[in-house]
A and B are shown apart, each in its own frame.
Chain A
Amino acid sequence: MIDIKHLSKYFNDQKVLDDISLHVNAGEIFAIVGHSGAGKSTLLRCINGLESYSEGNLSVLGEEVKTLTESALSTLRSQIGMIFQNFSLLNQKNVYDNIALPMKVWGYEKEAIQKKVDELLNLIGLEHKKFTYPKELSGGQKQRVAIARALTLNPKILLSDEATSALDPNTTKSILELLQEINAKLGVTIIIVTHEMDVVKKVASRAVLLEEGKIIGLGRIEELFLKPDEKMMRFLGEDEELPSEGTNIRLFFPSTVSYQPIVTQMARELNLNFNIVWGKLEKLNNHVVGSLVINVDAQAANAVTQYLQTKTEVIWEIL
């Protein structure tokens, strides 16, 4: 669906995107994560040609964005919806006219527009606000209208640029649920740019982490969050305080085993005591996954790893 190869971009002499390669699959929710200034919004804007790139290739729906003519780019953009942090609605137009705008621009018949707008108002649950002006709407409602506007042309891809960053936690949750619904019901591929880890954990299936324009992590979010490497840990602002004596073993519980009593069972069967020194549980994409660090005597370490290897599905590593 989207294929990025060795993409780089400069602002004047500064490299803002540095050798980015990634692939977004059709139908997934993909997150671009990073602190401010990491280049994530720039990367997102390269996808629909709002930003140009200096080097590399970026193909969207089979088209190399850089080489498109103005009218071909417009056509491509009609297949890519986009929502923004500050909603970007026209204040002088009511909800109906805002949602109808893309279809008016593309010259659709009035009846078709009315039908589509009513359908979308139903989807976002704002039928009763049809003739309201944006200044009378709450932030969450504005973002819902913006989402409806982004869907009018039946896009295959929806780009979300910090769409929940200006919203409170509850509103954020409801907007994310709406995005999930759109992804599931309409099969729209969604790319989310955010600096909020909670957003990523809640909706994304895969993510790329950017720092100073470079990729520092890419993959399924279970792996990214539960088996973070050193760069990821620094990025997430996490650091573990582990004892220096004995052997520390980290256990990863994928969603399939997170409800089994593995740790206590192991203690009984091996007749062994150990310390639980670190641990966390995360709800990722509605699955519970976790990691736990246990500390055992150096002699016992062998027995523990043997047990984990043969009797359980837990993934482990010695620290």
Chain B
Amino acid sequence: METLVTFFEKSLAMKSVLIDALMETLTMSLVSTFLATVIGFVLAIILITTDKNGIAPNAYTYKFLDVTINMLRSFPFIILIIVLFPVTKFLVGKHTGTFAMIVPLTIGTAPFIARMIEGAFKEVDSSVVEAAKSFGTSKFQIIFRVLLPEAFPSIISAITLSLIIIVGFSAMAGTVGGGGLGAVAMNYGYYRFDGIYIFWTVFILIVLVQIFQSIGDFLYKIIKH
């Protein structure tokens, strides 16, 4: 009984630290997901267009992007953050803190999102594209009037998945100078050996991931026909 009371008292005392950390995590994750999606989307369109079965095949462009994306994806994320310190510093002015972490999070996940969206585009039945060509649709219109609407539900799923991965990455970023729940777990939980902090950060992350996944599933369900 006494331990339970202590647990609640201690938890209450942590409230503001945890809420601040949650806000930082949300900022990092959502902004990075947004930026990475924009970049990933553009890359995916270039990939699907220049693919050898695409509407404007170009082997060199495709290969160049293909290799670059694979290279970025093969970095362990924590190493990527460190490697990108100079870039981050150049763009944001410093390489620690919540905003600074948006740089490696975006660069680290954009290639992943590009691959996922490319996959969503590739799932579109090629005969639908052929039909669109048969009534004289231009390449540009094939992308935006045929491929995009047909792939849209899968793209939403891909973004949901990426957001969840970015939440995980952002916690990791907390251990090398980023803010958020990861930093709290590291600084209070690990270095001070306070299990209650670990408990609450993990708890909040689990709930956060569940909420994101449920929203994503809900969106998929209403837009998929």
How many B residues touch A, CB cutoff 8 Å?
22
Q: Does A90 contact B (CB under 8 A)?
A: yes
Q: Which residues of B lie under 8 Å from residue A102 when comparing CB positions?
A: 135-137
Contact B149 A93 (CB under 8 A): yes
Q: Mark the stretch among A70-78, A182-190, A203-211, A215-223 that contacts chain B.
A: A70-78
How many A residues touch B, CB cutoff 8 Å?
34
Please give the distance in Å from B155's CB to the nearest CB on chain A: 11
Please give the distance in Å from A96's CB to the nearest CB on chain B: 13
Contact B130 A50 (CB under 8 A): yes
Give chain A interface residues in 140-190, CB to chain B under 8 Å. Answer: 146, 149-150, 152-153, 159
Contact B135 A77 (CB under 8 A): yes
Contact A105 B149 (CB under 8 A): no
> DSSP class of B's interface residues: helix, strand, loop or mixed?
helix
Chain A, residues 55-88, CB within 8 Å of chain B (1/0): the string is 0000000000000000001111110111010101
Contact B130 A88 (CB under 8 A): yes
Q: Does A91 contact B (CB under 8 A)?
A: yes
Contact A150 B135 (CB under 8 A): yes
Please give the distance in Å from A81's CB to the nearest CB on chain B: 7
Contact B150 A92 (CB under 8 A): yes
Contact B136 A92 (CB under 8 A): no
Contact of A91 among B138, B141, B225 (CB under 8 A): B225
Q: Which residues of A lie under 8 Å from residue B153 when comparing CB positions?
A: 92
A77-B134 contact in complex given A92-B152, A101-B145, C-beta closer than 8 Å: yes
Q: Which residue of A is nearest B141, CB measured?
A: A105
Q: Which residue of B is nearest A82, CB measured?
A: B134
Report Cα–Cα, A82/B152, bound state, in Å. Answer: 26
Report Cα–Cα, A138/B131, bound state, in Å. Answer: 19
A104-B135 contact in complex given A84-B127, A88-B127, C-beta closer than 8 Å: no
Report Cα–Cα, A90/B153, bound state, in Å. Answer: 13
Q: Does B205 contact A (CB under 8 A)?
A: no
Contact A91 B135 (CB under 8 A): no
Q: Which residues of A lie under 8 Å from residue B132 when comparing CB positions?
A: 101, 105
A90-B135 contact in complex given A50-B130, A105-B141, A133-B225, C-beta closer than 8 Å: no
Contact B145 A105 (CB under 8 A): yes
Report Cα–Cα, A48/B132, bound state, in Å. Answer: 12
Contact B131 A84 (CB under 8 A): yes
Q: Does A284 contact B (CB under 8 A)?
A: no
Q: Does A89 contact B (CB under 8 A)?
A: yes
Q: Which residues of B lie under 8 Å from residue A77 when comparing CB positions?
A: 133-136
Contact A84 B130 (CB under 8 A): yes
Q: Which residues of A lie under 8 Å from residue B223 when comparing CB positions?
A: 92
Report Cα–Cα, A73/B139, bound state, in Å. Answer: 13
Q: Which residue of B is nearest A91, CB measured?
A: B225
Give chain B interface residues in 145-195, CB to chain A under 8 Å. Answer: 145-146, 149-150, 152-153
Please give the distance in Å from A162's CB to the nearest CB on chain B: 11
Report Cα–Cα, A149/B225, bound state, in Å. Answer: 19
Q: Which residues of A lie under 8 Å from residue B152 when comparing CB positions?
A: 92
Give chain A interface residues in 119-134, CB to chain B under 8 Å. Answer: 133-134
Q: Which residues of A lie under 8 Å from residue B225 when comparing CB positions?
A: 91-94, 133-135
Q: Does B17 contact A (CB under 8 A)?
A: no
Q: Does B125 contact A (CB under 8 A)?
A: yes
Q: Does A11 contact B (CB under 8 A)?
A: no
Q: Which residue of B is nearest A79, CB measured?
A: B136
Contact of A74 among B125, B127, B136 (CB under 8 A): B136
Contact B150 A105 (CB under 8 A): no
Contact A105 B130 (CB under 8 A): no
Q: Does B128 contact A (CB under 8 A)?
A: yes
Contact A82 B136 (CB under 8 A): no
Please give the distance in Å from A249's CB to the nearest CB on chain B: 49
Please give the distance in Å from B168's CB to the nearest CB on chain A: 31
Report Cα–Cα, A109/B152, bound state, in Å. Answer: 26
Report Cα–Cα, A78/B138, bound state, in Å. Answer: 11
Report Cα–Cα, A50/B130, bound state, in Å. Answer: 8
Give chain B interface residues in 2-50, CB to chain A under 8 Å. Answer: none
Please give the distance in Å from B135's CB to the nearest CB on chain A: 4
Q: Which residues of B lie under 8 Å from residue A134 when comparing CB positions?
A: 225
Report Cα–Cα, A86/B131, bound state, in Å. Answer: 11
A153-B135 contact in complex given A88-B125, A105-B141, A105-B145, C-beta closer than 8 Å: yes
Given contacts A88-B131, A153-B136, 7 further A-B contacts (CB under 8 A): A74-B136, A82-B131, A89-B131, A90-B149, A91-B225, A101-B135, A149-B131
The 5 closest A-B pairs by CB, nearest first: A88-B131, A74-B136, A77-B136, A82-B134, A102-B135
- Could you list which residues of chain A lie within 8 angstroms of chain B, going by C-beta atoms? 48, 50, 73-78, 80-82, 84, 86, 88-94, 101-102, 104-106, 133-135, 146, 149-150, 152-153, 159
A-B contact pairs, 26 of them (CB 8 A): A48-B134, A73-B136, A74-B138, A77-B136, A78-B135, A80-B134, A82-B131, A82-B134, A89-B131, A90-B128, A90-B149, A91-B225, A92-B152, A92-B224, A94-B225, A101-B132, A101-B135, A101-B145, A102-B136, A102-B137, A105-B141, A106-B136, A150-B134, A150-B135, A153-B135, A159-B134
